Amino acid sequence: MADGGLSEVRLQRMHDVMNGYVERGDVPGMVTLVSRRGVDNFDTLGARSLDGEPMSKDTIFRIASLSKPVFAVAAMILVEECRLGLDEPVDRLLPELADRKVLKLLDGPLEYTVPAVRPITLRDLLTQRMGFGSIMETSDHFPIVEAVKEQQIGTLGPEISPLDPDEWIRRLGSLPLMAQPGERWMYNTSFSVLGVLIARAAGQPLEDFLRDRIFNPLGMADTGFTVPEAKMDRLAGSYRFSQKAGKLKRNADDLRDGGWFGRDELASTAHDYARFGRMMLDHGRFDGARLLARPSVQTMTVDHITPAQKAASPFFPGFWDNRGWGFGVAIVTRRDDIASVPGRYGWDGGTGTSWYADPTENLHALLMTQVEVFPSGIYEDFWTSVYQTIDD
């Protein structure tokens, strides 16, 4: 048995399963972590790019929506300092979002609205219930989607807005909401808004606040919205699978042009994010220092979405069958396979990243790849492999 109650033989089995994705050409490489009882087991496989150096623990990845838990922690720091309130309307700091109008029909004309029944709150943002986000329903025409494109807001899909935070929030405020605040769960836009709110509440740029209050205390030296030129050699190549070519195609972005506040996409390393994950698993504490109080982490990591809200919130097929949503993280609510432990929380990123923590097993694990529209089955195989390593 390995330290932490994991099987050495089964860790090797996990290595073999995940290495299969590299050997088949599904991903150039990856870094994995299984950490139990404070013992970290990292594994590096393949290369940073198809023609690059070998993968390493300090390879820099675009972590996509794994940024959401980080944003949520930043917001809860401000809640603990009474600079923000969970049920306080955001209007005080985001007057652009005051006096909302709401579409009567999701696919209706923009002028066909009713007044919002209440203001948007911080809790709405953290739980993605502000009433604006990705549309999963099918329809021939959504005027609100066309308006988002025209305004260059870029938060309903992979598009990235070129606007600065103030102009972005102003344009968002010119559009009606898609649903009443608190009515349904809608993915993504809430965390773009949250980024603006955190910066205004903190009185400093978002990245500066994240660095001062989270990255520096945790020793996350390689995490941020951009990658300095001196570290570019450690940045993993960004790919997506081309159905037409039948192989991986490299993306053009290299993070040199600067991230923007609402993209919700940090760059980080397995080493850095492992430290963030350990802090969460330890209820807000890391190496004797405390970022958040235990009750704050506990509040973040329970399901806040009601059955009625789940019924009104289409997402991926079967998503709500055994999951809920807390503050920036999904919550497992029902066991239906070996990795579905009730209370396990975390999230996935669209570039092939995944992190969850399991308080019951005193375990957290991390997968870092760099392929958009990631290969089918890689997440399932990763999490099955993580849990089969337990040996007590």
pLDDT at residue 243, rounded to an integer: 77
pLDDT averages per 10-residue partition of the chain, 392 residues: 86 98 94 97 96 94 95 98 98 98 95 98 98 82 90 65 87 97 95 95 96 98 91 92 82 55 76 98 95 98 97 92 97 95 95 96 97 79 97 94
Q: Is 250 exposed, middle or buried, given 0-12, 13-18 or 19+ CB atoms closer than 10 A? A: middle
Tens digit of each residue's pLDDT (9 = 90 or more) over 347-381: 999 889 999 999 999 999 999 999 986 557 899 99
Paired with 44 in beta bridges are: 31
Q: What is the rounded distance in angstroms from the CA atom of residue 172 to the CA atom of residue 17?
A: 44
The pTM for the full model equals 0.95
**Gap between the Cα atoms of 115 and 98, Å rounded:** 11
Checking phi first, is residue 212 left (phi over 0); if not, alpha (psi -120 to 50) or beta?
alpha
Domains of the chain: 8-64+205-210+221-388 (3.40.710.10), 75-202 (3.40.710.10)
pLDDT at 257: 43
* Helix/strand/coil for 325: strand
The owner of tokens 């009185």 is: 203
User: How many Cβ atoms sit within 10 Å of the Cβ of residue 118?
Assistant: 12
Selection from 45, 151, 41, 9 nearest residue 369 by Cα: 45
Alpha carbon 60 to chain centroid, angstroms: 16
Q: Looking at residue 244, what is its pLDDT?
A: 79
